[in-house]
Amino acid sequence: MKATSATPSTSAPVAHNALPPPSATSNARSSRIAPHSHIKGLGLTSDGLAAPDGAGFIGQTNAREACGVVVDLIKSRKFSGRALLLVGAPGTGKTALALAVSHELGVKVPFCPMVGSEVYSTEVKKTEVLAEAFRRAIGLRIKETKEVYEGEVTELTPAESENPLSGYGKTVSHVIVGLKTVKGTKQLRLDPTIYEAILKEKIVVGDVIYVEANTGAVKRVGRSDAYASSYDLESETYVPLPKGDVHKRKELVQDVTLGDLDAANARPQGGQDIMSVMGSLVKSGRTEVTDKLRREVNKVVKGYVDQGVAEVVPGVVFIDEVHMLDIECFTYLNALLESPMAPTVILATNRGNALVRGTTDIVSPHGIPVDLLDRCLIVKTDGYNREQIGKVVQLRSNIEGLKLGAGVLERIAEEGERGSMRYALQLLTPASILAGLAGRNQIEVEDIKEMNELFLDAKTSATNIGVGGGFDGGKMW
């Protein structure tokens, strides 16, 4: 990136190529928000009222409107030093609300979910886990103009040659890639390492990609809309055929988080030889991100911001089951809330009055010490009725591409009312497997019945044990 050369390089240990590709980071966290992919926002009207359903959100109107107020506060910078606390039974949409708030704050606003109990690790300090989550919730949007080759892939041919070194088999010597734009086509002869990147990004003919001229980094933009299918809903993004020449200068926007920058710079950056690979395996560990490194990263980031190359995008850190934190973490959390570059903090719990962990006698609402509670705006989530559960199940089955036979929706909604929203949603996937085993591509009521024979919902399970007197007496079976 050009920006580093512009900064005086005396105090910049943060290498520029240290920017990791955003897709390579926090995969585990993105899979955590996958069950909420139908949630696009809070679904409020311009005067802040919640329609019965909007933006994928069904019901829960009070909580949605309250969260809308919080979004306004955040946008007008009147929420710093405070936190939003969501309180309600499991499966009532607390995580969904937190995610919706981050959507409302803008596109590509980082959302960093964690669970209170994640802080307990034998390797990493408790406070360190919190600090890292906060860093992952602060985004940096970097704009830069780069020389690229961009177009729709028309040809992708690896050229093989005998490997002179090993005698075994062949290696790819180069790869021929054809790129097409509205204006013309161009054939590129690229290095084998770029071919690896192409395979990794799963690029095929018909995708629109660009290759950065300096670094050889390959990015898949989407699928050319000439190949658009007729499905109403799918995960693919279709893009138009790029305009202009294949070889051009293009403004690229890269979104990374401070956490990504910390991690990338903590890893030793050796060359290609085997020692440095081994070295990085041994040395790479979470403990390497020190406060010193974070300060260095901050300094470089500030430089970019001052030059107008980058923009800070404060995101949302979501701490679920916050009652699992202990007094030490709560104190640290207070300090983090005060820090100048803090993300929005959303906490969630399903506990009532509880002992604050790490103390022997402090009982407090939601297991949260009062000095933190004082900073919180508390929003309660309500349970759902059968109709609302049915609507959410319908949304999810559309997204997951599942077909529901007659009466299935009603049946699942009924199960959900007995169990919970989450139980209802979780019936979908296994039921579709049962349907598949029966040779159908549509879930039928009998699949749900079979599910009930195979599995128990929590309430039934607990009742069974209650009646049988528990496992220990051996009376249950």
Question: Would you say 143 and 309 are in contact if contact means Cβ atoms under 8 Å apart?
Answer: yes
Contacts 24+ apart (CB under 8 A), 268-276: 269/15, 269/17, 269/18
Among 18, 19, 39, 409, binds ligand ADP (CB under 6 A): 39
In the chain, how many H helices and how many E strands?
16, 19
Among 95, 349, 364, 426, binds Mg ion (CB under 5 A): 95
Among Mg ion, ligand ADP, none, what does residue 71 contact (CB within 5–8 Å per kind)? none
# of chain residues touching ligand ADP (CB under 6 A)? 20
What is the chain's length?
A: 477
Residue 149 found at the interface with ligand ADP (CB under 6 A)? no
Instruction: Give the pair of three-digit tokens for residue 415.
Output: 């199960």
Angle at which helix 421-437 crosses helix 386-399, to 10 degrees, equals 50
Among ligand ADP, Mg ion, none, what does residue 57 contact (CB within 5–8 Å per kind)? ligand ADP
Among Mg ion, ligand ADP, none, what does residue 90 contact (CB within 5–8 Å per kind)? ligand ADP
Task: Please tell me the distance from the alpha carbon of residue 355 to that of residue 374, in angstroms, as a whole number.
Answer: 17
Question: Rounded to the nearest whole angstrom, what is the least distance from the CB of residue 94 to Mg ion in the complex?
Answer: 5
Among ligand ADP, Mg ion, none, what does residue 93 contact (CB within 5–8 Å per kind)? ligand ADP
Task: Please tell me the distance from the alpha carbon of residue 343 to that of residue 362, in angstroms, as a whole number.
Answer: 28
Which span (32-40, 224-232, 270-278, 311-319) binds ligand ADP, by CB under 6 A?
32-40
Task: State the amino acid at position 472 in one-letter form.
Answer: D
Interacting residues with ligand ADP between 84 and 143 (CB under 6 A): 88, 90-96
Task: Please tell me the distance from the alpha carbon of residue 432 to that of residue 438, in angstroms, as a whole number.
Answer: 10
Task: Please tell me the distance from the alpha carbon of residue 207 to that of residue 201, in angstroms, as a whole number.
Answer: 11
Q: Which residue is nearest to Mg ion (CB)?
A: 95
Task: Please tell me the distance from the alpha carbon of residue 275 to that of residue 382, in angstroms, as a whole number.
Answer: 57
Query: How far is CA 477 from each of CA 72, 119, 379, rounded to the nearest angstrom?
Result: 56, 39, 43
User: Strands 138-162 and 247-257: what pairing?
Assistant: antiparallel
Q: Which is nearer to ligand ADP, 59 or 365 (CB)?
A: 59
Q: Which is nearer to ligand ADP, 343 or 390 (CB)?
A: 390
Among ligand ADP, Mg ion, none, what does residue 285 contact (CB within 5–8 Å per kind)? none
Of the candidates 263, 222, 202, the one whose C-alpha atom is nearest the C-alpha of residue 26 is: 263
Residue 372 neighbours by CB distance under 10 Å: 23
Instruction: Give the pair of three-digit tokens for residue 170.
Output: 């062949």
Instruction: Give the pair of three-digit tokens for residue 79.
Output: 């929420």
Q: Which is nearer to ligand ADP, 170 or 459 (CB)?
A: 459
Task: Please tell me the distance from the alpha carbon of residue 440 to that of residue 397, in angstroms, as a whole number.
Answer: 16
Residue 324 found at the interface with ligand ADP (CB under 6 A)? no
Which span (34-42, 263-271, 436-444, 469-477) binds ligand ADP, by CB under 6 A?
34-42
Among Mg ion, ligand ADP, none, what does residue 83 contact (CB within 5–8 Å per kind)? none
Residue 58 found at the interface with ligand ADP (CB under 6 A)? yes
Which span (91-99, 109-117, 152-160, 368-376) binds Mg ion, by CB under 5 A?
91-99
Task: State the amino acid at position 317 in one-letter form.
Answer: V
Q: Which is nearer to ligand ADP, 198 or 389 (CB)?
A: 389
Which span (193-201, 224-232, 421-429, 449-457) binds ligand ADP, by CB under 6 A?
421-429
Which span (194-202, 210-218, 300-308, 417-425) binds ligand ADP, by CB under 6 A?
417-425
Q: Which residues of this chain interact with ligand ADP, rule CB under 6 A?
A: 35-36, 39, 56-60, 88, 90-96, 392, 421-422, 425
**Contact residues: Mg ion, CB under 5 A:** 95
